[in-house]
Chains A and B, each alone.
Chain A
């Protein structure tokens, strides 16, 4: 299976990276990590890419890492469709101090608009 994982620098997006590496290893999936700037986060694309590459190296797992420019949600949907990915994976659903779960706007867009199956990790 060709898996497209979006990573925008939130804690949950890194958790999704860890889980997707393990899952891809077990299933023999081809993993592409799409790094994007999430305006809800402080970290920029370069720092996110560095952490993604470190995580992949530590896990000793090979994956393609690329940058997504423009609106992350619509670009992830486009890339998945136009390049024949079988699944999009995203981490989202942070909890407020009160404990309420809220999905990020990128995850909402992808869930509603993707033609491919979407796995949400939270």
Chain B
């Protein structure tokens, strides 16, 4: 499958660790995560609002959550978590596809949505990707999910394919000097 990516790379993004005060005056910490965060992430996903699931993830049952986290906490993937008062409240991941790109997804607990955390989380993950030399990132989002689409656009994602139920968006992170 040929995936469309923008010609021009986006600007530079901030790398973790960092902190940010959200629109409700909460101090949110962002840092890189790995397999050692598995237990804390399982706890976070157990609290995830079923209405906020999209395209089958996060899975509903705990065993399925564990299996899913096993895949996305692999060394090949990049992960960033957001925490407030020591508890994980958000997670974003980049998972390599079969070509040269990475698929992105983010999750924020419902009590922390609408406060700008998702934007910061995506930007921090893209900053981590940039410093790891990742160029091509894509995602799919349900076409009716306006808040998510607005977030991705603001960060710099462009629409790659909007003919399907799920809209595909993509972004490039590096200048193409060494590419092709």
A-to-B contact residues, CB < 8 Å: 40, 95-103, 105, 108
We find that the number of chain B residues with CB closer than 8 angstroms to chain A is 21
Whether, in the assembled complex, B140 has its beta carbon less than 8 Å from a beta carbon of chain A, the answer is yes
| B56 contact set on A, CB distance < 8 A | 95, 99-101
B103 in contact with A96 (CB, 8 Å): yes
* Nearest-Cβ distance from residue A97 to partner chain B, whole angstroms: 5
A to B contact number (C-beta, < 8 Å): 46
Given known A40-B1, A96-B97, A108-B164, contact A101–B71 (CB-CB < 8 A): no
Chain A residue with the shortest CB-CB distance to B166: A102
B71 in contact with A99 (CB, 8 Å): yes
B68 in contact with A99 (CB, 8 Å): yes
Q: How far is the CA of A103 from the CA of B166 in the complex (A)?
A: 9
* Nearest-Cβ distance from residue B156 to partner chain A, whole angstroms: 20
Question: Which single member of A40, A97, A102, A108 contacts B71 (CB below 8 Å)?
Answer: A97
Chain B residue with the shortest CB-CB distance to A93: B56
B166 in contact with A98 (CB, 8 Å): no
Q: How far is the CA of A96 from the CA of B3 in the complex (A)?
A: 14
* Nearest-Cβ distance from residue A98 to partner chain B, whole angstroms: 4
Given known A40-B1, A102-B140, contact A97–B97 (CB-CB < 8 A): yes
B103 in contact with A97 (CB, 8 Å): yes
| A100 contact set on B, CB distance < 8 A | 54-57, 103, 105, 140, 166
* Nearest-Cβ distance from residue B134 to partner chain A, whole angstroms: 14
Whether, in the assembled complex, B165 has its beta carbon less than 8 Å from a beta carbon of chain A, the answer is yes
Whether, in the assembled complex, B96 has its beta carbon less than 8 Å from a beta carbon of chain A, the answer is yes
Q: How far is the CA of A108 from the CA of B162 in the complex (A)?
A: 13
List 9 A-B pairs, Cβ < 8 Å.
Answer: A97-B98, A99-B56, A99-B59, A99-B68, A100-B105, A102-B55, A103-B164, A105-B164, A108-B164
Whether, in the assembled complex, B72 has its beta carbon less than 8 Å from a beta carbon of chain A, the answer is yes
Whether, in the assembled complex, B93 has its beta carbon less than 8 Å from a beta carbon of chain A, the answer is yes
Q: How far is the CA of A40 from the CA of B161 in the complex (A)?
A: 15
Q: How far is the CA of A15 from the CA of B163 in the complex (A)?
A: 26
Given known A40-B1, A108-B165, contact A101–B96 (CB-CB < 8 A): no
Q: How far is the CA of A97 from the CA of B165 in the complex (A)?
A: 19
**Residues of chain B in range 71-109 having any CB-CB distance to chain A below 8 Å:** 71-72, 93, 95-98, 103, 105
A98 in contact with B93 (CB, 8 Å): yes
Question: Which single member of B98, B105, B165 contacts A98 (CB below 8 Å)?
Answer: B105
A102-B140, A108-B164 known; 14 other A-B pairs, CB under 8 Å? A96-B95, A96-B97, A97-B97, A98-B95, A99-B68, A99-B72, A100-B57, A100-B103, A100-B166, A101-B55, A102-B164, A102-B166, A103-B165, A105-B163
